[in-house]
Amino acid sequence: MLTLLNLLKDGRFHSGQDLGAALGISRSAVWKQLQHLEAELGLSIHKVRGRGYQLATPLMLLDPLKIAEMAPGWPVAVFDSIDSTNAEGLRAIGQGRSAPFLVLAERQVSGRGRRGRKWVSPFADNLYYSLVLRIDGGMRQLEGLSLVVGLAVMHTLRKVGVAGAGLKWPNDVLVGNKKIAGILLELVGDPADVCHVVLGIGINVNMQAAEEVDQQWTSVRLESGQVCDRNALAVQLSEQLQAYIQRHQDRGFSALQAEWQDGHLWQGRSVSLIAGTNQIDGVVLGIDNQGALRLQVDGVEKLFSGGELSLRLRDDS
């Protein structure tokens, strides 16, 4: 099936006879595979009598050799379809694979965001990216790490034409009030000694429609008006991650605190912080030198941190 997809990915018309000859199968078998492509991957294929078959939109598939050649020396694995890149990263750690390494996928069937939310992952539209790192030296190496990843994602998006990309504490990248990227960090091992962390990043790249998404969203293509090369984006993201992670390791999160606050879109805004069934209303003052949220609540500054917190704008903000 993927061999057929590679023949069609240029977006041109291909006759059933030519496709069958290239694959060594009958025209009726080609037709069955095309139906399977549409049903399994959600692709739209035009069928025109006398001309053949054409993908409604050309595909630029991820190329692990190109990414590995240009990325910062990290081994790269690209999957056609997978439950989630983070899950595969965790499995690889359990099997003893040496970090760092990258896991990417054309599609996720069980993509995950924070707090167990589903991350919609259509085939070959977006970037589903997990970087697996070994962390030595204890908790200091983890302080503010998710915010550091956010900085790398924000600057990656700005470099590919999304000038309005900014940060939302703790793990989202927005354009205005629309989400364009999300970050999910998962940790295994002993955080006080040696552990591994999976930096999961999902970026809406060329997606133009998604009925399943239950919040405002946008994509690189919608913001820039152009189709984005996901291979180039993966390389750019890898370079930004390498640079920011190195700065974090050398100098700690406090050295990046001011830069993160400069990119925070909700600085000074009235917000509601959701923690389980509890809601805390306040005004965003910024973050501390470990990445915790500084919130003014009833005239008093309070600090909040943790993976199960969610920040929302107040209606009167």
Distances (CA, A) of 7 to 2, 58, 110, 129, 190: 9, 11, 27, 25, 47
Decide if 312 is catalytic: yes
Decide if 114 is catalytic: yes
Annotation-wise, does 113 bind a ligand? yes
Task: Using CB atoms within 10 Å of the CB of residue 238, give its burial: 0 to 12 exposed, 13 to 18 middle, 19+ buried.
Answer: buried
The kind and range of the H/E element at 232 are helix 230-251
Give the DSSP letter of residue 157.
Answer: H
Annotated catalytic residue within 114, 168, 221, 230: 114
Q: Which amino acid is at 309?
A: L
Annotation-wise, does 17 bind a ligand? no
Phi-psi region of 306 (alpha: psi -120 to 50; beta: other; left: phi over 0): left
- What is the spatial distance between Cα 73 and Cα 127, in angstroms, rounded to a whole number? 19
Annotation-wise, does 179 bind a ligand? yes
Annotated catalytic residue within 107, 168, 179, 221: 179
131: tokens are 């970087």
Q: Give SS3 for 22.
A: helix
Q: Which amino acid is at 51?
A: R
Annotation-wise, does 108 bind a ligand? yes
Annotated catalytic residue within 12, 118, 312, 314: 312
Annotation-wise, does 177 bind a ligand? no
Annotation-wise, does 114 bind a ligand? yes
Annotated binding site for biotin: 84-86, 108, 112-114, 179
Annotated binding site: 84-86, 108, 112-114, 179
Active site residues: 114, 179, 312
